Structure 1
């Protein structure tokens, strides 16, 4: 059976401004040069960057901060956005009213005085239009089986399991033998042995090709969380909003309406006080 083809989407988030507060700064660790190891960290309403141990590396100097992608991260100071590297150097001055993440093609979308355009990593305006979105083949793990209005699944890759046709919907996650399955209005996750690793208790489970269908977002009673590589809960289903993972971090909104980031181990990178 031929593979599905999906377009990879470049992430870009429009973020809300927040008030700046004066805070006491903790002792800093030595700055790292590899921005990909740093995670945006919020303390109160101020932002810096922490290492994988949640130890502050870049100080709380920003009103908003984004993830490092292609070793660059957008930051907001007051109403304006710019870009820094993993050592905190301002590579592109804060001058934009919006700035998005850099994509694999080395482009980022910005807004300057109402004009929307793309820039390169050096901050220069790109005159040429973006090329076609890169396409990636995600191989199907098997075939759907249909019987009397229900669906099952026959694995043809990595497993010989046949899932009985007892579900109302099955979606292939294209990795690790995981399947999203629905009975009635509730979703769960099956593994390659046909066993439920996540019970049929959730209102929705969403995965995106942009990050290889990893860390799906799960919804239950208006709250959100994430799934691990094994299809089990990576986090509690407790957030008011959840964004797809980008470069091993994801932006969430807490139950109190505050933004923050989590990493691929489910660790939270913020302190509200």
Structure 2
């Protein structure tokens, strides 16, 4: 991540007509974290060592530009309480000390920096865990799909589709109930309730119906009936605030909101931005086109496309004149701003330039130094704008903001459960309940009737069943093939003809067509099962198909001698053969007993034809 600081303001997206577009505010929330640390947070970032990038690897330099830890990591973060999260060359996460040595070896698939003494980590194929700095697992989040860092003693978790919060013992402190939620700050957290609203906007409905028509045109099914939508549902996100007991302190009513900072929070009515106190009352009425949180008694606002600063009474202190701006640094009165020509410089609280605009990007001052980019390289300057370290680094990262708002996702995947569900009814002689003697009639009964099967006037039928093996794996289709499935029956019609010799008409029966009926006793020759994957299942499809092959071999009572690097896996015993196509997600059952008989019959027929031809040839020469 480059070090240009995150935008600390909410800005509206363009609206079409009267349709309100809900704002995304994640980047806004991230910007408040650095200031929290330097105003009493329990975790202390260190600016003594700075992550920098050289080529495609990250290392650390000190504030004189001296390389302290050589570039060797795929990613690196700032030190917090003497420990930093890094990603190794093989893309595993671990933690290092300021000497560059691992304190916690890189073994995790994903991880977050330490916060309030704990870090959330995710082992390969595992569930999120919280560890201490000695890598002791304090607890595992068994039900959470998504986890965040601790802030104000609580950590965000997502269970199914709702967000809640856990405490430092892993207990659910606030039950999952919110559609969107953010970390606590100043004892309150921003939460979102999504309401569905009926919309009868004609243009939107016409567009929806046009899309539906286009979709139906692509369906090869004449039984599809036209559906016309007269209304549709859209989601409306409403932002409010809760306390650490989970009690709603300020009802969800705003179109967007930022966490509280210095006792005030930015909120929007969908048109303009203002500020409320912790009672939900407006202190500064909505009037700005964009707004940021308060730091050191000042906040960034915009009027039109230009940014300036206000005080807590809503009075403009520095007129909107900048293309973009950052909050003033906590430990000094300097702020980074961008002039109308896109160059970055530094101003004081009167809006006067202390360092003229000349840089491409930069950060606020941390103590007596700031990081700036010029000619695509990063360096370090002092308060006079002089280089302490000349621009030489490809990237640097002094991200004290984002990590508190980052999350990790569970990597747990119930592979064994999916395989068990798929292989129900499988043993040495059966595969999913079918065997070498299974007939069409039995398949039809299992499918729920012949009308559930689609025949294409050959010896095969399709069964589209959409069987959920798990939330992320669906058995979508089975393509069955049989021996002599269709029986052909002639259809005759009566035709009247005229006899010129006899001088009269007469009726005759002529072959008109053929009627095809299913042979209920036709035996199955093969079945192709098509699986559909999504989410983690899609990511782990290759592993899943390999594990499926191992389990099939076990159930068939044979050894799996396949090379797992190949796309195809074949397992068979004396009666059945199973072939797995890993890339296509297909599993094929073959009836070896019947196929062997059919092959023998075909060979006998070919031999008979060959013998007859040879006999005819001999007879011709005999004449």
- Structure 2: 5+ residue stretches without partners: 1-28, 34-44, 142-165, 168-172, 174-182, 188-260, 265-271, 276-283, 396-623
- Does the C-alpha gap of structure 1 residues 107 and 151 become closer, same or farther in structure 2, counting only changes over 3 Å? closer
Q: Which residue of 2 aligns with 1:57?
A: 68
The answer to whether the aligner puts 1:127 opposite 2:139 as a matched pair is: yes
- Does the C-alpha gap of structure 1 residues 219 and 109 become closer, same or farther in structure 2, counting only changes over 3 Å? farther
The answer to whether the aligner puts 1:68 opposite 2:118 as a matched pair is: no
Q: Tell me the TM-score normalised to structure 2 length.
A: 0.27
Separation in structure 1 between the aligned mates of residue 112 and residue 372 of structure 2, nearest angstrom: 17
Alignment length (residue pairs) = 214
Separation in structure 2 between the aligned mates of residue 272 and residue 111 of structure 1, nearest angstrom: 30
- Does the C-alpha gap of structure 1 residues 230 and 90 become closer, same or farther in structure 2, counting only changes over 3 Å? farther
Q: Would you say the 8 A contact 2:290–2:303 is kept in 1? A: no
Q: Which residue of 1 aligns with 2:237?
A: none
Q: Which residue of 1 aligns with 2:101?
A: 89
Post-superposition Cα deviations, 1:220-245, rounded to whole Å, max 9, x if no partner, equal: 99x89797784868886745xx9999
Q: 1:77 aligns with which of 60, 83, 88?
A: 88
SS at 2:99 equivalent: coil
The answer to whether the aligner puts 1:45 opposite 2:56 as a matched pair is: yes
Q: Tell me the TM-score normalised to structure 1 length.
A: 0.53
Q: 1:136 aligns with which of 186, 200, 219?
A: 186
Separation in structure 2 between the aligned mates of residue 124 and residue 253 of structure 1, nearest angstrom: 40
Q: Would you say the 8 A contact 2:92–2:107 is kept in 1? A: yes
Q: Would you say the 8 A contact 2:359–2:372 is kept in 1? A: no
SS at 1:75 equivalent: strand
Post-superposition Cα deviations, 1:64-110, rounded to whole Å, max 9, x if no partner, equal: 21110121101121211110011112100011122211112x12122
- Structure 1: 5+ residue stretches without partners: 1-7, 12-33, 142-149, 154-162
Give the structure with the larger helix fraction.
2
Deviation at 1:186, TM superposition (A): 2.5
Output the aligned Cα RMSD: 5.5
The answer to whether the aligner puts 1:271 opposite 2:321 as a matched pair is: no
Deviation at 1:125, TM superposition (A): 1.9
Q: Which residue of 1 aligns with 2:439?
A: none
Deviation at 1:39, TM superposition (A): 0.9
Q: 1:185 aligns with which of 279, 298, 305?
A: 305
SS at 2:53 equivalent: strand
Q: Would you say the 8 A contact 2:273–2:291 is kept in 1? A: no
The answer to whether the aligner puts 1:101 opposite 2:113 as a matched pair is: yes
The answer to whether the aligner puts 1:176 opposite 2:296 as a matched pair is: yes
Post-superposition Cα deviations, 1:107-127, rounded to whole Å, max 9, x if no partner, equal: 212222143422211112221
SS at 2:80 equivalent: coil
- Does the C-alpha gap of structure 1 residues 100 and 270 become closer, same or farther in structure 2, counting only changes over 3 Å? farther
Q: Would you say the 8 A contact 1:50–1:56 is kept in 2? A: yes
Q: Which residue of 1 aligns with 2:550?
A: none
The answer to whether the aligner puts 1:200 opposite 2:321 as a matched pair is: yes
Separation in structure 1 between the aligned mates of residue 369 and residue 137 of structure 2, nearest angstrom: 28
Q: Would you say the 8 A contact 1:36–1:86 is kept in 2? A: no
SS at 2:79 equivalent: coil
Q: Would you say the 8 A contact 1:36–1:69 is kept in 2? A: no
Q: Which has the larger radius of gyration?
A: 2
More RCO (CA 8 Å, sep 6+)? 1
Deviation at 1:198, TM superposition (A): 6.5
Post-superposition Cα deviations, 1:195-252, rounded to whole Å, max 9, x if no partner, equal: 75474233x6576xxx99x99887899x89797784868886745xx99999x99999
